[in-house]
Structure 1
């Protein structure tokens, strides 16, 4: 099998999970085996459902799952194939894994970002209280723990994600690896990220806490029944007049950059707000756009 024979979905899932938890075996022989190298992914059996989803989603890539003798861990694996021999050359320098920049443009299905997040990402919560109002405010933070890669590679990956999937990650300092990982900086963007991938929680219920923001917020409310638990709001929320201006400007063909300059917002803020407007404001009775 060759890379160009794979579908966009298969390429996106394979590369996303290879940059995450996946590895490609390294032959000890001086000559690569005739039938090629093999993909392997070790994981805790607690995450079995997620790996079974991968296996079902890409049966041409993944062959099966083996549970180890201890019963606490398992391995998702592929057949040996020349595809993985080729991919190892693209993604590895000796034992060191790198981001294959030139392959990113082939991975434009959102499952690429989903695999990165479910493999190596986390939903972290900040909690603050207002005692006088008996409120607890929950703020979500999205991280991709990719500190094994060099910051220069993460910059390129961040730009690709922003350009392709319209989610803006920035470099964040760490004390391990190459000292940087990726995170979504703004609350509004973190919630939008979760809302976009929430439908996958139906296919992978064990990942619902990590994918479904409304569900996660409800769990927090159940854990604090004596308090009013609310989601934090983004600073500098858009006014109704700004939203109406963006809709009218889009109708008139104005660019995001021009809109941003006109209303005094950043370019990326307008890009993300337009995604939100299309999803939550443009109802059928408005008759503004048809998608």
Structure 2
């Protein structure tokens, strides 16, 4: 089997999951075996339904699932094939997994992004209360925990995702791996992301909490029956132009008060936004600035 023989769906699913939880077996021999290398993916049996969905939707790629003797983990695997020998050359530098940027343009089916999210992403919730109104506000955050890759790779991946699927992910600081992962920055964009993939919750019911925003919000309401639980709505969010202005203004030594006046924002809004920029933007880490 060759890469060119796969459909766009198969390429997208395979590369998405290979950048996520999937691996391609190595061999100690100098030459790969004649029948090729093998794809493997270890997972908890709690996520069995998701891997069964992969097996069902791409039987040309995946061959089966083995449950380990402990009964708590399992493995999705392929047959040995020259395709995986070739893919290992594209996706690995020695033992380190890399993002094969040259293959991304062939992976234009949304299942690429779905696999990345379900394999290595999370839906994180921020909760805040308004005691006077007896309200709890739930804010969703979408993360792709890809810190094993270099920031330059993540930037190119982010650009591909935005160009192809129209979802904007930005780099976010972490303390492990290569110190960066990807996240959706704006609340309305996080909800739009979930709404786009919510239909897959019917095919993979165990992933519904991670895919269906209305369902997840209802679960939170059931947790706090004594409160009015609502989804946050972003108001007056900073535009890309405003963020660029803040970065350049800080580089030029402009104070927060002057920036706030220029943007018609409050002083503390600018202070908090600058902290967010420093923490989550790759190229805005070290600046000399004044308050």
Q: State the match for 1:16 in structure 2.
A: 16
Question: Deviation of residue 236 (structure 1)?
Answer: 2.8
Alignment of 1:103-142 (within 5 A): 103-142=103-142
Q: State the match for 2:39 in structure 1.
A: 39
Alignment of 1:190-209 (within 5 A): 190-209=190-209
Deviations 1:196-253 (A, max 9, x none): 000000000000000000000000000000000000001138xxxxxxxxxxxxxxxx
Q: How many Å separate the matches in 2 of 1:187 and 1:85?
A: 41
Q: How many Å separate the matches in 1 of 2:234 and 2:85?
A: 46
Q: How many Å separate the matches in 1 of 2:236 and 2:216?
A: 25
The unaligned stretches of length 5 or more in structure 1 are 238-291
Q: How many Å separate the matches in 2 of 1:20 and 1:170?
A: 18
Q: State the match for 1:159 in structure 2.
A: 159
Question: Deviation of residue 31 (structure 1)?
Answer: 1.6
Question: Deviation of residue 49 (structure 1)?
Answer: 0.2
- TM-score, with structure 2 as normaliser: 0.81
- Asked if residue 227 in structure 1 is aligned to residue 234 in structure 2, the reply is no
Q: State the match for 1:179 in structure 2.
A: 179
Q: How many Å separate the matches in 1 of 2:160 and 2:32?
A: 33
- TM-score, with structure 1 as normaliser: 0.81
Q: State the match for 1:269 in structure 2.
A: none
Q: State the match for 2:143 in structure 1.
A: 143
- Asked if residue 95 in structure 1 is aligned to residue 95 in structure 2, the reply is yes
Deviations 1:5-41 (A, max 9, x none): 0000000000000000000000111221000000000
Deviations 1:52-89 (A, max 9, x none): 00000100000000000010000000000000000000
Q: How many Å separate the matches in 2 of 1:71 and 1:221?
A: 34
Q: State the match for 1:279 in structure 2.
A: none
Q: State the match for 2:67 in structure 1.
A: 67
Q: State the match for 1:54 in structure 2.
A: 54
- Give the secondary structure class of the aligned counterpart of 2:171: strand
Q: State the match for 2:188 in structure 1.
A: 188
Q: How many Å separate the matches in 2 of 1:3 and 1:128?
A: 48
- Consecutive aligned runs of 4 or more in structure 1 exceeding 6 Å deviation: none
Q: State the match for 2:168 in structure 1.
A: 168
Deviations 1:129-158 (A, max 9, x none): 000100000000000000000000000000
Q: How many Å separate the matches in 2 of 1:208 and 1:38?
A: 30
- Give the secondary structure class of the aligned counterpart of 1:149: coil
Question: Deviation of residue 126 (structure 1)?
Answer: 0.1
Q: How many Å separate the matches in 1 of 2:231 and 2:32?
A: 54
Q: How many Å separate the matches in 1 of 2:60 and 2:194?
A: 29
